[in-house]
Every structure is written in C-alpha cells, then in structure tokens.
Amino acid sequence: MSDFFFAVRNIRASRVNLIMNDYAAGLPSPLSFLGLADLLARKLGLIPWCAGVLPVLHHVHVSEGRTKPEMENKTGMFTPIETMEDMIGTVDVSLLLHLPGCDSDSDVKQQLQHCRIAGGLIQDPSPTVDAVPADGSAFRMLRRGYAMVRPEPTGHRRITMGDPEGLAQTAQTLFPAERAPGSGWHVPSAVGYRLLEDPATAPKRQRTRSSTVPHVFAEPVLGIAELVSVRNARLTGLATTGLHELLWRWHAQGDLVLGHSDYHPERSPIDMTKELISHG
C-alpha cells in the first residue's frame, strides 16, 4: 500500500444533494466523498473499493428557490435531465485522498475534471491537487474547516437501521448535556447500507449502471459522525497509522457495507474487503 496522500483543495460543487438517507439531512454524506474516491480509483485503473478519503467542510449553503427539475427537449419530448431533490446546496470542501497505487498528483487532477459530488458538479475545471505527507501535518496545509470523521469516544459509533430504540439512542448521543473539552460537533450521518439480498444470488436486472457490479436492494444505515477542526491536535498530531485509520474506506462484513470498519457492531479482525473486490 502506497503512502502517497493527495490534498484536493478548495473544491466548490453546486446542486449537491444534502439528503444523506431517510434519517439524516443538511450536510453532504461522507459516503458521497467515498464514492468520488472510488470513482477516481477506477478511472486511474487502480483496485476498486480500496480508496480512502477524508472530507474537510469549509462551507455548506442550502439552496432556496426552484424545486422542479430542469427539462430538455429530447426527440420531440421534454424530459427531466436532473434528479429533483428536496434539499440541495453549494458545498466548499477540501479532500485528503489515499489512492493505493497512484503517486501522481497530475493524474488525480486530470481525472477530477467533470466529476460530481452527490450529484453536484465540481465548478472549478482545474482544482488544486498536491501530494502531502501521510500524517497530521497534512492538515496544516488546508484552510480552516471541519473534517468529517468517525466520532470519539468509540461508544458513539453505534448504528441503527431505523428502529425506534436505536434512533432514540442516537438522538441522546447527539445532544449531550455537556460537550467534553476538545470534542467536535456530533452530527447524524449516513454510514453505510444493510443488504437485503445476497449479491451472489441476486437476479440480474436491466438498465443497471454496471455490467459487472450486481444490483441489490439495501436499506440505509444511520450512524454518527464528528466534525473536528483541522487545527485540533487530534488531527494535526496524527502519525501515519492514525491518519490511515481516520479515512473513510469501504468495509463489507456479513450483510453490512459500511464507510468505516469501526461502525460494525461485531467488528472482526478478518478483513472482508475482498467481498467487495470480488464484485468489481
């Protein structure tokens, strides 16, 4: 695994979907940035599902106004050319990327062109991409913002699929009587999916996005993320191993596909990432 990290700085994306899943809205989902990282890995010819990403939010502005999708005349009929969402916005963000097997910032910069974040087009056609150290000093090169990370303490990393008891526990964690010194802001977050079908036996469906990745039905998983200032010593003091562990990275185990292994309720020492790789 290469230790090349890339800082993609000061991205602005418009019309970003701010609905994470059925239970969380108002911020872009960390899974959306993980999807962008995996797309870059595929475009660069790297191993799928192994990319890591850490978003640093600088500004999120919720849009107000038009709620109908834009229409276009196609073959004599007007059809929508975008998905109508109930909550979209403009997002200013920087990214720390880990793309195992890639050591070229110019290649990353080229592949970022015309990419989207949660459906929102990246506005700058030529974003700034630099190779950075694989430790906490990488944060000192970013302007002020809040990294979206898994929460501390570890007890806050519980997940729920929407059962009333789980939602109540999540709400109590989000709104404590007091905030611990040095803690960030805890926010509800989409952290993965629970598969309702087995990818190995799911029927092949028409009009899917990929001919190699099976389409399966799933339900959303709600968890908690933490927004931590990039000037916080929890980030700037990280060693290489700590920074790797902080990244969002796909993890499959059993019927759960999560954006970080720490959210799994029965975390196993057996790495199940191979389950993802075997399906494209």
Which pair of tokens denotes residue 194?
């629970």
Residue 4 — very low, low, confident or very high, per pLDDT cuts 50/70/90?
confident
Contacts 24+ apart (CB under 8 A), 213-216: 213/279, 213/280, 214/279
Asked if residue 70 is part of any domain, the answer here is no
Asked if residue 108 is part of any domain, the answer here is yes
Query: What percent of the chain lies above the pLDDT cut of 90?
Result: 64
Amino acid sitting at position 135:
D
Is the pLDDT at 157 greater than 70, yes or no? yes
Taking the C-alpha atoms of 15, 222, 9 and 237 in order, what is their torsion angle to the nearest 10 degrees? 160
- Per residue in 110-129, pLDDT (tens digit) is 999 889 999 998 887 678 99
Asked if residue 74 is part of any domain, the answer here is no
Which pair of tokens denotes residue 139?
């944060």
Asked if residue 71 is part of any domain, the answer here is no
Residues 188 and 224: beta-carbon distance below 8 Å: yes
What is the rounded CA–CA span in Å between residue 157 and residue 159? Answer: 7
Asked if residue 75 is part of any domain, the answer here is no
Residue 82 — very low, low, confident or very high, per pLDDT cuts 50/70/90?
low
User: In the predicted model, what is the mean pLDDT of residues 21-32?
Assistant: 94
Which pair of tokens denotes residue 163?
């059962």
What pTM does this model have?
0.85
Q: Is the peptide bond before 55 cis (omega within 30 degrees of 0)?
A: no
Asked if residue 73 is part of any domain, the answer here is no
Q: What pLDDT does residue 175 have? A: 80
Query: Can you give the residue range of the structural domain that contains 121?
Result: 5-64+81-277
How many domains is the chain partitioned into structurally? Answer: 1
Instruction: Tell me which residue has tokens 């993890």.
Output: 251
Asked if residue 59 is part of any domain, the answer here is yes
What is the rounded CA–CA span in Å between residue 210 and residue 38? Answer: 14
Asked if residue 69 is part of any domain, the answer here is no
What is the rounded CA–CA span in Å between residue 43 and residue 47? Answer: 10
Amino acid sitting at position 209:
R
Cα-to-chain-centroid distance, residue 90: 16
